[in-house]
Amino acid sequence: MITYEKPHLSYHEQIQLLKNRNLNINDEDYALQKLKHISYYRLSAYFIPFYSQKDIFTNGTTFDDIIELYHFDKELRILTFSAIEKIEIFLRTSIAYNFAKEHTPFGYVDNKNFYCDDKDFNWFCSDVQKETKRSKETFVKHFRDKYTQKDLPIWMVVETISFGTLSKLYTMLCPETEKLILNGIDLPSFVFKNWLHVFSYIRNISAHHSRLWNRQFVIKTKIPRHKKEFKGMINDRYYTFAMMANYVLTAINDTFDFKKELKDLFDKYPNIDKKSMGFIEY
């Protein structure tokens, strides 16, 4: 291990450093404004594909090339979040409807209505109590003011918990309830549970403004062997996520055309390296 000794650099010193590393900066005022709005450290993740060797940019690389890649990634995150949001809302709706139908609106407080061990059930109950207690939603206050029950009905609970907790709740459902939710999606239970984990992971990346382009995902996707369109895919790149999201959105009859939106984004940024994202086609 070594001591971290990189010094603070002024914005002008950052620009000079980039120029010393063979980056063409035609408009220094523009570069200055960008560095004030987007930190050098954040932008540095987008330097790497333009390097010919360590910390040296390939001849002809411009500051605009880096900013273009950054803006593409920003729009990709927005599009990705939008696609996951639609799947998330479907899941919240479907869990609430089918669980209440099978186990009553307050059945989630009884572990016999779940297919899980006591540890997972207790964790879920604790998380629900924590999330509903700190919720500022009007519907929660209205319920507390009007009704005697201390627990909220399931359709309120699913609107207060995080997507991560919602995904965990899904993994705890009894097979009979899960089967109702999976109706029409045509995926094995273990595959869809994994996909929800991947969606939650990528949602968090997008929500925290982290890089999606050229990212190798930590959570690996389980590939459904009975679906030929997924055959031969790399299970830790954006392309596989795009196929997953498009598949689920189509299966739940959502009108959002994710594939077209993604193609339009690539058309807007024709210089983006799609192979690094695992894309075979688009």
Phi, psi dihedral angles at 51 (to 5 degrees): -80, 140
The answer to whether 180 and 243 are in contact (CB under 8 A) is no
Residue 282 pLDDT > 70: no
Residue 281 pLDDT > 70: no
List, for residues 49-87, the tens digit of each pLDDT value.
Answer: 999 999 999 999 999 999 999 999 999 999 999 999 999
List, for residues 222-251, the tens digit of each pLDDT value.
Answer: 999 888 888 888 899 999 999 999 999 999
Note the pLDDT of residue 228. 87
Please state the rounded mean pLDDT for residues 158-176. 94
The Cα–Cα gap between 229 and 237 comes to: 16
The answer to whether 239 and 279 are in contact (CB under 8 A) is yes
Burial classification of residue 93, based on how many CB atoms lie within 10 Å of its CB (0-12 exposed, 13-18 middle, 19 or more buried): middle
Note the pLDDT of residue 102. 95
Please state the rounded mean pLDDT for residues 116-130. 93
Please state the rounded mean pLDDT for residues 198-208. 95
CA 56 to chain centre: 32
Mean pLDDT of the chain: 94
Each domain of the chain, given as residue ranges in start order, spans 11-61, 72-277
